[in-house]
Chains A and B, each alone.
Chain A
Amino acid sequence: MNRVRKLFQRLKTEHRCGLIAYITCGDGPTIEIIRALEDAGADAIELGVPFSDPIADGPVIQAAAMRALKNGTKISDIFTIARAVRERSEIPLIAFSYLNPVLRHGIEKFADHAHAAGIDSVLLTDLPAEAAAEVKPAFKAKGLGSIFLLAPTSSDARIAVVDRASDDFIYYVSTMGVTGARSELDPALLTRLDEVRAQVRKPLAVGFGISKHEHFALLQDRCDAIVVGSAIVRAVADGDEIGAATRAGEIVRSIRMI
């Protein structure tokens, strides 16, 4: 069983809502940032692969991706980062990418390299569950889990498809729109989340817009984990490089408040 699946089992027995931290690889001192996130209590890390045309991302993660690409970040650097984390930690690692860089690397080669580097699962933002067959066999052969998105617009039929296709958990997009910290949660979210949760068997993580302890407090009894992205990425960019890891860790602490 991969580390992501184990994590969700543990969260269940501990009756606790997990926190998954997203970072854009290659924007700032990524390896140090991951350690700080882990020290601050993050339960898993999403390794964002920078892409030139991130259609699902708001300005904060777009800018981070552009900086990372300018720094020369390549998909092989994501594997290097994962290997470095694995030298000292068993924290679950989820690769988070758009489809094209993975396609170009080669699906099977990607699965091979990701597995060897200690990555547990993969989420491809622009690969809907209907097209899962294009990647899943290759991922599965290496023990990598596939994760798919659900959104407020997903029909019951699609919820069933995504539930079947997702291996470790389902990523529920909290709101209509792109990534980015928001001051308020979507008012329709809580009711919708209860409806969706009643229809799925896989664990449910909720992301997009979550940036404060109040959000976490509202969501913690309604899902298995939350994902924090833009708030962390913004903190990394918001100051000098030396303080980036500390600032990222503070975001996680302030959201969990423990």
Chain B
Amino acid sequence: MKRSNLPDRRGYFGEFGGKYVPETLMAALDEFETAYRGLRRDRAFRSELDDVLRDFVGRPTALTEAKRFAELCGGMRLFLKREDLNHTGAHKINNALGQALIAKRMGKKRIIAETGAGQHGVATATACALLGLGCVVYMGEVDMARQELNVFRMRLLGAEVVPVTSGSRTLKDAINEAIRDWVTNVRTTHYIIGSVLGPHPYPLVVRDFQSVIGREALAQLRKRTGSIPDVAIACVGGGSNAIGLFYEMLKHDSIRFIGVEAGGRGPNLGDHAARFSGGALGVLHGTRSMVLQDEFGQIAETHSISAGLDYPSIGPEHAYLQQIGRVEYYDCSDDLALEAFHKLSECEGIIPALESSHALGWLLRNGASIGSGKIVIVNLSGRGDKDVPQIAALEGR
């Protein structure tokens, strides 16, 4: 398969994507798209971005072979793409900085963002501090409680963190509130959405900024193994770290792609965030995709041990890649993710984010079917420091 030239001009990946927003925002989306199309190939912009990614974020991130963990998974050659080593501790900074640089060029002095795990909020607050932009982050009250450390970090970075008390008080509600702010302040404000979600052009822009992950990984793997991977695996919340790893690899027909969703505590609606097994075609937050909802079209509440995967919709490009059969999607339960979290910590000396632990959990359970000679890459999307207090509380320590 050639790497797709999607989305089309109207922002669709097949039947998924598009722009479903109140009229007030249409002009801002057009403005953002025009600005981005101009900057996408602009030398000065690219080199400014490359400089901050190198000198501030610390790219390229390492590629680490995980031999001891691989043995537990059935003995493949396993490589971890170390997005946890980015400044601020996750892949989110790649997108936050890219968009903040665009906002600055557009003359927008105020940035808003939503956050679930707090990683995107921290990344956005960091980018704003670096570039001298005002920053307001919306975060559900439930998430604020389970990611307290990140709330404090955002405030240290000078951002205002606004608790969201509506609905399920998690990521979905934080996005609702961010959109309401944007509708009100759109002339002065840019909304930095944290994943490959939302109305066009966000899924395109965020993918472009995250695709640095796969580009680096391919070059690093070639150097280390002389070849491309057989299997690429990533966890999927909205889907930005997964698209980031997969995008440059999609042109290689031989690579098998696996996205891992949050299986939560079981298959009933409300107990997980597995959009492909439990969702239906719908429109949420400006994009048409697979959405967890009840039979009346009301959006369902979701559950995951990891705040970053706890969301009822999925990026439209993933819905497309699933539909055409290019990427396989599975889910990993809370318990299995926790098991992988501990295993990686103990046998590799790397504490993974709970989100990334879902990708590792899938491999732990299913690795034996892959074959021992195969080269496997997992996107280690973030570090687990933020999750330590939650896990300590959960496990009574």
Contacts and interface: CB of A to CB of B under 8 A. Distances in A.
A100 B291 contact: yes
Given A126-B20, A128-B26, A56 B297 contact: no
Contact of A51 (B30, B185, B298): B298
B26 A154 contact: yes
Nearest to B30: A155
A152 interface: yes
5 pairs of A and B residues whose beta carbons are closest in the complex: A104-B297, A101-B297, A151-B24, A149-B23, A177-B184
A69 interface: yes
A103 B297 contact: yes
B22 A74 contact: no
A104 B294 CA distance: 9
Contact of B283 (A66, A100, A176): A100
A158 B26 contact: yes
A153 B27 contact: yes
Contact of B183 (A56, A99, A131): A56
Given A55-B176, A66-B166, 9 more contacts: A51-B297, A55-B285, A99-B20, A104-B282, A104-B295, A128-B23, A153-B186, A176-B187, A177-B183
B132 interface: no
Nearest to A102: B297
Given A104-B296, A176-B187, A128 B19 contact: yes
Nearest to A172: B23
A179 B186 CA distance: 16
A52 B270 CA distance: 14
B299 interface: yes
A100 B21 contact: no
Contacts of A162: 23
A75 interface: yes
A126 B22 contact: yes
Contacts of B28: 153
Contacts of A155: 27, 30
Nearest to A162: B23
* Secondary structure of the B contact surface, majority rule: mixed
Contacts of A152: 24
A51, A126, A149 — most chain B CB neighbours (10 Å) = A126
Interface residues of A, number: 40
A62 interface: yes
Interface string B1-44: 00000000010000000111111111110100000000000000
Interface string A169-180: 000010011100
A2 interface: no
Interface string A114-153: 0000000000011111110000000000000000111111
A128 B184 contact: no
Nearest to A77: B296
Given A62-B166, A158-B26, A176-B183, A52 B299 contact: yes
B284 interface: yes
Interface in A53-101: 53-56, 58, 62, 66, 69, 74-75, 99-101
A105 interface: yes
Contacts of A104: 280, 282, 293, 295-297
B186 A176 contact: yes
A219 B21 CA distance: 27
